[in-house]
């Protein structure tokens, strides 16, 4: 059993929607599914921290306002939009605010559970990918730095790449710091030295 299915009842759900039949259908289904939920209308000033998932009616809403509403909060919410029309300007809003799933009016009970699940998955994957991407970028930069520093040492000392790397590591261990820090120092020193030569 996938964790997302098992943990669905732990979700705190907010519905931002005028109180009409679609809203009632949706709230009742969220209640049946077993999540705690709240209703707000119009769009509140800020999104309270406790909500993990937000259903939002985007009819007659400004995309930029909705986007800043969601972006303001540091912890990202799972966003499911409710739309009345499937025309390009409405679809544009969905993409603009970064919705994770869509329900169309009139909302039917069947399909809500799957939408919640797919939105959760999409959102959690997005989060994971962006974290991974940041980590990879950092790592790549570090590798690049160490490489640059190695070449500087090889040139100055006339040693092999392996010897240059060992030198950097030895320094890092002696100074209780990372190889990246040492590499950065070497690169800085090299640039100061070469600038001196120019002047």
Partner 1 sequence: MTRTESWKIGLLFSTSGVTSIIEQSQLNGALLAIDQINAKGGIRGLPLEAVSYDPGSIVPRYGELAERLIVEDKVSVIFGCYMSSSRKEVLPVVERRNALFFYPTLYEGFEYSPNVIYGGACPNQNSVPLANYLMSAFGHRIFFVGSNYIYPYESNRVMRNVLRQGGGEVVGERYFDLTTCAEDFTDVVKEIMEVRPDAIFSTIVGQSCIEFYRAYHAAGGDGRICPIASLTTNEGEISAIGADAAVGHITAAPYFRSINSVANRRFLKAYEQKFGSTIDVTSCCEAAYSQVHLFAAALEETGEMDTDCLREALLGEAFDAPQGQIKIDPENNHTYLQSRIAMVNGEGEFVIDLKVRRAIKPDPYLVYPAIHDWSFRTQKVSGGGGHHA
Out of 1, 174, 192, 196, which residue is the one contacting partner 1 (CB under 8 A)? 1
Is residue 5 near partner 1 by the rule CB under 8 A?
yes
| By CB under 8 A, residue 32 contacts partner 1 | yes
Position 8 contacts partner 1 (CB under 8 A): yes
Would you count residue 34 as binding partner 1 (CB under 8 A)? yes
111/22 Cα distance (integer angstroms): 14
What Cα–Cα distance (Å) separates residue 135 from each residue in 16, 75, 121, 125?
35, 19, 21, 15
Q: Is 109 in the site for partner 1 (CB under 8 A)?
A: yes
CA nearest 30: which of 41, 17, 43, 42? 17
Region of 1-9, 89-97, 147-155, 172-180 interacting with partner 1 (CB under 8 A): 1-9
CB of 127 to partner 1, least distance (A): 23
Contact indicator for 101, 119 with CB cutoff of 8 Å: yes
Question: What is d(CA 147, CA 151) in angstroms, rounded to the nearest whole number?
Answer: 6
> What is the binding site for partner 1 (CB under 8 A)?
1, 5-6, 8-9, 28-29, 31-34, 109-110, 113
């Amino acid at each position: 059993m996938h964790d997302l299915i098992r943990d669905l009842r732990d979700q705190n759900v907010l519905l931002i929607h005028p109180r009409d039949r679609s809203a009632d259908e949706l709230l009742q289904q969220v209640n049946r599914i077993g999540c705690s939920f709240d209703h707000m209308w119009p769009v509140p000033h800020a999104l309270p921290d406790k909500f993990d998932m937000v259903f939002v009616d985007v009819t007659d809403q400004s995309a930029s306002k909705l986007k800043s509403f969601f972006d303001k909060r540091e912890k990202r919410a799972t966003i499911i939009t409710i739309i009345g029309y499937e025309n390009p300007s409405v679809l544009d809003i969905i993409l603009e605010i970064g919705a994770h799933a869509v329900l169309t009016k009139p909302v039917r009970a069947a399909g809500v559970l799957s939408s919640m699940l797919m939105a959760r998955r999409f959102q959690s994957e997005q989060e994971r990918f962006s974290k991974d991407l940041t980590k990879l970028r950092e790592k790549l930069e570090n590798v690049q730095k160490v490489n640059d520093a190695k070449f500087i040492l090889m040139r100055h000392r006339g040693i092999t790449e392996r010897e240059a790397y060992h030198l950097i590591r030895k320094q890092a261990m002696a100074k209780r710091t990372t190889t990246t820090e040492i590499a950065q120092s070497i690169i800085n020193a090299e640039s100061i030295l070469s600038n001196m030569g120019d002047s």
